[in-house]
């Protein structure tokens, strides 16, 4: 009944051994540091507790877990949670994404490859096309896939019964999901940026896994600049490890962490060059705003989607920008951060999240 094996696109990398000499890709590295159980998972406590209950109920009751949707900026653990859930359920995880399922046949082959109670993870689910999405509805609701054999007037309508499965959807853009798709999930959750204490614990855990000694100050420095995002924390840890290896004895303390991150252009609030260019654009070029996203994107020669999905959520969270009906505005804190005096019209940008994150 319960099967432990994972079928997914990252399985090989996921099972790679890790060592300080690891030369793998960024994705392999991130996968290797991923927690595999609820007990190993740090942060998002309320979500993890809810999932624990639902997983336990599904296991005890012998039913397939309900379809769950996770929303939030990249790097907060949506994929990781899908792996943890499948692992805890003892079922296979099949991994795909909205853009990869670009026609009905691909959806059909994915669905018909599922085993009883397996989990199907669809990343960027907001990018499914309308035809694929419509065909997903009966699969989610009645575990059914409808298709035609043949073409034209002789085409024959067929229905295939699917195993009971769990759809785990992930999106960086909850607002782009259609109401009928949203309705078919039993549970939605918006993931939050991780608090400093959790980020610190994640950095320490990852350092231990890769065998790099790190002290409290080193972990704090990396955690503080990781913008509440485990994927970024693990990436920064790897970069600081390089500096510590070349310039010190390989161990990370507060001073090597700070000096490496300064040189990598990640500032004390965790902003990188694109974040600062975005802030400068609003503050200097557009006089603090309000300014529309298209104008900012054009001024930076950057994709609007990247700004909306990656840059803005964090700047909003820490109160460096605000949204108004007429566009984005830089707050007094945003002006100060890039060394400018805020005009009197700039909002103060008080944000409850800031205290928790930094």
Residues near ligand ADE (CB under 6 A) are 33-35, 40-43, 77, 80, 202, 205, 230
Least Cβ distance, residue 18 to ligand ADE (angstroms): 12
Please return the burial class of 273, using the count of CB atoms within 10 Å of its CB with bins 0-12, 13-18 and 19+: exposed
Q: How far is CA 121 from CA 78, 126, 295, in A?
A: 10, 13, 35
Residues contacting 171, CB < 8 A, separation 6+: 69, 70, 71, 124, 125, 126, 177
Where are the strands (E) in 180-326, listed by range?
187-190, 321-324
Pick the catalytic residue from 8, 123, 198, 275: 123
Q: In DSSP terms, which residues pair with 145 in a beta bridge?
A: 160
Least Cβ distance, residue 198 to ligand ADE (angstroms): 7
Active site residue 231: yes
Q: How far is CA 240 from CA 8, 135, 165, 339, in A?
A: 31, 47, 42, 26
Least Cβ distance, residue 230 to ligand ADE (angstroms): 3
DSSP string, 202-220: HHHHHHHHHT--B-HHHHH
209 or 265: whose CB is closer to ligand ADE?
209
Burial letters for 45-62: b for 16+ Cβ neighbours within 10 Å, e otherwise? eebbeebeebbeebbeee
Residue 71 phi/psi, 5-degree rounding, is -120, 155
Pick the catalytic residue from 8, 34, 79, 166: 79
Distance from C-alpha of 144 to C-alpha of 254, rounded to nearest angstrom: 56
Instruction: Answer for the pair 22, 210: CB distance below 8 angstroms, yes or no.
Output: yes
Least Cβ distance, residue 52 to ligand ADE (angstroms): 14
Least Cβ distance, residue 239 to ligand ADE (angstroms): 16
Pick the catalytic residue from 225, 231, 235, 328: 231
Instruction: Answer for the pair 300, 256: CB distance below 8 angstroms, yes or no.
Output: no
DSSP code of residue 37 = S
Closest CA to 334 of 306, 309, 311, 302: 311
Active site residue 172: yes
Distance from C-alpha of 5 to C-alpha of 13, rounded to nearest angstrom: 14
Active site residue 166: no
**DSSP β-ladder status, 321-324 and 327-330:** antiparallel
Closest CA to 122 of 175, 69, 161: 69
Least Cβ distance, residue 335 to ligand ADE (angstroms): 33
Least Cβ distance, residue 76 to ligand ADE (angstroms): 9
User: Which residues are catalytic, by number?
Assistant: 78-79, 123, 172, 231
């Amino acid at each position: 009944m319960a099967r432990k094996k994972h079928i997914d696109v990252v399985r090989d990398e996921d099972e790679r051994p890790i060592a300080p000499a690891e030369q793998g890709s960024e994705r392999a590295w991130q996968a290797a540091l991923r927690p595999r159980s609820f007990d190993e998972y740090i942060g998002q406590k309320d979500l993890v507790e809810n999932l624990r209950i639902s997983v336990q109920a599904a296991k005890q009751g012998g039913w397939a877990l309900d379809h769950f949707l996770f929303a939030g900026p990249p790097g907060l653990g949506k994929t990781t949670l899908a792996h943890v859930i499948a692992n805890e359920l003892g079922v296979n995880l099949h991994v795909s994404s909205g853009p990869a399922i670009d026609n009905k046949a691909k959806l059909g082959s994915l669905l018909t490859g599922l085993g009883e109670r397996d989990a199907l993870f669809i990343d960027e689910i907001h990018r499914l096309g309308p035809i694929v999405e419509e065909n997903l509805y009966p699969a989610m609701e009645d575990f059914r896939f409808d298709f035609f054999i043949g073409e034209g007037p002789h085409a024959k309508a067929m229905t295939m019964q699917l195993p009971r499965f769990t759809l785990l959807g992930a999106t960086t853009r909850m607002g782009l999901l259609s109401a009928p798709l949203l309705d078919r999930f039993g549970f939605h959750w918006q993931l939050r940026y991780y608090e400093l204490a959790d980020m610190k614990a994640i950095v320490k855990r990852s350092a231990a896994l890769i065998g790099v000694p790190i002290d409290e100050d080193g972990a704090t420095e990396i955690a503080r600049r990781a913008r509440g995002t485990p994927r970024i924390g693990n990436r920064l840890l790897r970069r600081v490890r390089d500096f510590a290896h070349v310039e010190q004895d390989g161990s990370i303390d507060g001073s090597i962490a700070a000096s490496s991150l300064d040189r990598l252009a990640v500032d004390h609030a965790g902003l990188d060059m694109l974040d600062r260019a975005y802030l400068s654009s609003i503050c200097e070029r557009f006089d603090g705003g309000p300014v529309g996203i298209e104008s900012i994107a054009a001024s930076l020669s950057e994709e609007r989607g990247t700004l909306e999905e990656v840059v803005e959520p964090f700047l909003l969270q820490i109160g460096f920008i605000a949204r108004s009906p007429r566009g984005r505005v830089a707050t007094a804190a945003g002006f100060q951060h890039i060394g400018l005096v805020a005009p009197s019209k700039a909002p103060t940008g008080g944000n409850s999240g800031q205290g928790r994150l930094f």
